[in-house]
Chain A
């Protein structure tokens, strides 16, 4: 942790997350990525929504904004467009990002604006006591799905890709080293980057779905994750209850802020 101490607001610790919550692992992985890249702390802005995930910004020693539920991306858009020199990283949760924040998510991807979005995906609304989200597995239990979630979840990777994101990846709290590398690539991508970070909520999700203690939930992540590259050679039967991790998509497209700046330069250059 030596390298990442300076990125923490130590006076705010211990954080509010439950014992065993994977959010702290994802946060640590993010900070290692920031450290690997040697991002300028002064020029880095962390923007979060509302939920357990989004409390992360308060613990991070950068310019940080804890916004309203689902609205991190609009704030981040304003920040990045206003000052393109800033590194803007969004921390959001599965509910914050894909339910109330869904519209902002797809439009940010469509714009391919240079923002990195890390989804702390625990398949539940933890802060409010365990309701289901658009990423909760079908048939999983939650306080508002006492008989099991009756809806399909989003395939957030495909959604991000279809909406126009130029870097999409998935990691887990168990695979914390890989997660750091994925966040590095996400930040390095000059465009809209999404990392779906599967993390465990042992208290709300875990208890309701009898997933055992935190370490066991992480073993579940280990046993159900399949590297995207390996998956290409596997049969549908073998992939039945698995999810893909690693880099899911990478492409190149014009980046929103850079294109707007070109417009500004052109108009100003042309004026007397």
Chain B
């Protein structure tokens, strides 16, 4: 067991990625994510890894895709404006099935916005930011320790599903410092991309296995193949016919959807007898939990579901948990994003959005008041 130490969220995220085997970082400075790049610059060469500060956000995304194709576990980090720039190549990574991790430490937007203020305004962009249809994996940690754990999960999911994975941090979690005790290296599960057992002449780079994910062979080992963002067949060659297109687009969704139980990470608090449910994530969850505890002290039967996995949205789990509640309160540091997804699956009449988008994180009272109002209203 490691000793407890004071750690910053961005630092924990970086350490988690390194513990999971990331050895390549390419990025560009942007508040409030820059610490991830700075720490990576310092640590990676000591570990025999590679760091490069690229000329812009798009180049960073290209470089991590290239490094991953060459066989390394690769990560980049950014915030809103950079995340917007990266969208085309995130889509490329999805189409070419390249494992990469993108850390987005959300800040208040749109545009330059409030560089040092928190928000959760990129939730829907994470789902739909790149053009076209695809399955998405995004994880949102709610504490410094969780930033470490989520980073490990993110790297592992990227490898397992051959897809870009977003770590949806926010400025609260990214810049806060907490005392954490990190797991030892031996305690961490590491997942590597599947390799093929076929000889090169039989290998087809984009032929999926039973789990709908193709094996991935790095450049340099004799398995040369074509990688393209065009729609492609099992050999990786461009193929624009409707049969191929339908097959590939379906698989880009189903390879993730079929494993939703494995991908869904969350914590639950006081749910057993809860009549009022708070669903939240990331930096909002801390204030929400404080509010829930205060409400409980006042005798309110309220519980909290903290989502760590935002995408794929765990609709069945949320539906099951929300079914027992009379009211579902959804605090978010945005104008209302994940609440729309919740309303798709939970009776809209009982969903109460609670939104703070003035650049400040929630005060527990911001969430306690609606809980008490919901309690009062439901009598």
A32 on interface, CB distance cutoff 8 Å: no
Cβ A74 vs Cβ B219 within 8 A = no
Determine which of A9, A12, A63 lies in contact with B219 in the assembled complex, contact meaning CB atoms within 8 Å.
Answer: A63
CA distance A268 to B69 in the complex (A): 25
A-binding segment of B55-63, B271-279, B330-338: B55-63
Q: Contacts A66-B230, A77-B59 given; indicate if A85 touches B48 (C-beta within 8 A).
A: no
Nearest chain-A residue to B89 (Cβ)?
A68
Cβ B65 vs Cβ A264 within 8 A = no
Which A residues touch B46, using CB under 8 A?
267-268, 271
Quote the shortest CB–CB distance from A272 to chain B (angstroms): 11
Q: Contacts A68-B88, A103-B59 given; indicate if A77 touches B52 (C-beta within 8 A).
A: yes
Q: How many A residues are at the interface, by size bracket?
A: 35 or more
Cβ A81 vs Cβ B24 within 8 A = yes
Which A residues touch B60, using CB under 8 A?
74
Quote the shortest CB–CB distance from A222 to chain B (angstroms): 34
CA distance A66 to B69 in the complex (A): 12
Cβ B70 vs Cβ A86 within 8 A = yes
Q: Contacts A81-B63, A104-B59 given; indicate if A67 touches B237 (C-beta within 8 A).
A: no
Which B residues touch A68, using CB under 8 A?
62, 88-89, 92, 229
Cβ B225 vs Cβ A63 within 8 A = yes
Cβ A78 vs Cβ B26 within 8 A = yes
CA distance A64 to B222 in the complex (A): 12
Cβ A83 vs Cβ B219 within 8 A = yes
Within 8 A of A (CB), among B42-86: 45-46, 48-50, 52, 54-56, 58-72, 74
Task: Select the residue from A75, A83, A267 with max chain B CB neighbours within 10 A.
Answer: A75
Q: Contacts A74-B58, A107-B59 given; indicate if A83 touches B229 (C-beta within 8 A).
A: no
Which A residues touch B50, using CB under 8 A?
81-82, 260, 264
Cβ B66 vs Cβ A57 within 8 A = no
Quote the shortest CB–CB distance from B293 to chain A (angstroms): 45
Cβ B45 vs Cβ A42 within 8 A = no
What 0/1 readout, one digit per residue, does chain A (244-272) give for beta carbons within 8 Å of chain B? 00000000000000001001100110010
B5 on interface, CB distance cutoff 8 Å: no
Quote the shortest CB–CB distance from B240 to chain A (angstroms): 12
Cβ A75 vs Cβ B62 within 8 A = yes
Cβ A103 vs Cβ B55 within 8 A = yes
B227 on interface, CB distance cutoff 8 Å: yes
B250 on interface, CB distance cutoff 8 Å: no
Which A residues touch B222, using CB under 8 A?
42
B220 on interface, CB distance cutoff 8 Å: yes
A58 on interface, CB distance cutoff 8 Å: yes
A17 on interface, CB distance cutoff 8 Å: no
Within 8 A of B (CB), among A88-116: 103-104, 107
CA distance A65 to B98 in the complex (A): 12
What 0/1 readout, one digit per residue, does chain B (146-179) give for beta carbons within 8 Å of chain A? 0000000000000000000000000000000000
Cβ B45 vs Cβ A67 within 8 A = no
B221 on interface, CB distance cutoff 8 Å: yes
Cβ B224 vs Cβ A41 within 8 A = yes
Nearest chain-A residue to B52 (Cβ)?
A81
CA distance A41 to B224 in the complex (A): 8
B115 on interface, CB distance cutoff 8 Å: no
Determine which of A42, A43, A62, A78 lies in contact with B66 in the assembled complex, contact meaning CB atoms within 8 Å.
Answer: A78
CA distance A62 to B69 in the complex (A): 14
Which B residues touch A65, using CB under 8 A?
66, 69, 226-228
Which B residues touch A86, using CB under 8 A?
70, 219-220
Quote the shortest CB–CB distance from B170 to chain A (angstroms): 27
CA distance A68 to B70 in the complex (A): 17
Count chain B residues whose beta carbon lies closer than 8 angstroms to a beta carbon of A: 44
Which B residues touch A107, using CB under 8 A?
54-55, 59
CA distance A78 to B72 in the complex (A): 10
B238 on interface, CB distance cutoff 8 Å: yes
Quote the shortest CB–CB distance from B84 to chain A (angstroms): 15
Which B residues touch A264, using CB under 8 A?
45, 48-50
CA distance A224 to B67 in the complex (A): 42
A173 on interface, CB distance cutoff 8 Å: no
Which A residues touch B59, using CB under 8 A?
71, 73-74, 77, 103-104, 107
Cβ A71 vs Cβ B58 within 8 A = yes
Quote the shortest CB–CB distance from A2 to chain B (angstroms): 21
CA distance A161 to B282 in the complex (A): 49
A76 on interface, CB distance cutoff 8 Å: yes
Q: Contacts A81-B50, A81-B52, A82-B50 given; indicate if A42 touches B220 (C-beta within 8 A).
A: yes
Within 8 A of A (CB), among B12-65: 24, 26, 45-46, 48-50, 52, 54-56, 58-65
Cβ A82 vs Cβ B72 within 8 A = yes
Cβ A85 vs Cβ B55 within 8 A = no
Cβ A75 vs Cβ B45 within 8 A = no
A204 on interface, CB distance cutoff 8 Å: no
Cβ A74 vs Cβ B45 within 8 A = no
Which B residues touch A67, using CB under 8 A?
62, 65, 92, 229
Cβ B52 vs Cβ A12 within 8 A = no
A184 on interface, CB distance cutoff 8 Å: no
Which A residues touch B62, using CB under 8 A?
67-68, 71, 73-75, 77-78, 104
Determine which of B54, B69, B221, B238 lies in contact with A79 in the assembled complex, contact meaning CB atoms within 8 Å.
Answer: B69
Which B residues touch A103, using CB under 8 A?
55-56, 59
Cβ A79 vs Cβ B66 within 8 A = yes
Supply 10 further A-B pairs (C-beta < 8 A) apart from A71-B62, A263-B45: A62-B224, A65-B66, A67-B62, A74-B60, A77-B66, A83-B218, A86-B220, A103-B56, A104-B59, A264-B50
> Would you give 25 A-B contacts (Cβ < 8 Å), ordered by A?
A42-B221, A47-B66, A63-B224, A64-B227, A65-B66, A66-B228, A67-B65, A68-B229, A71-B59, A73-B59, A77-B52, A78-B69, A79-B69, A81-B52, A82-B24, A82-B74, A83-B72, A86-B70, A103-B59, A104-B55, A104-B59, A260-B50, A260-B52, A263-B45, A264-B50
Which 4 residue pairs are nearest across A and B when measured between Cβ atoms? A78-B66, A74-B62, A78-B63, A82-B70
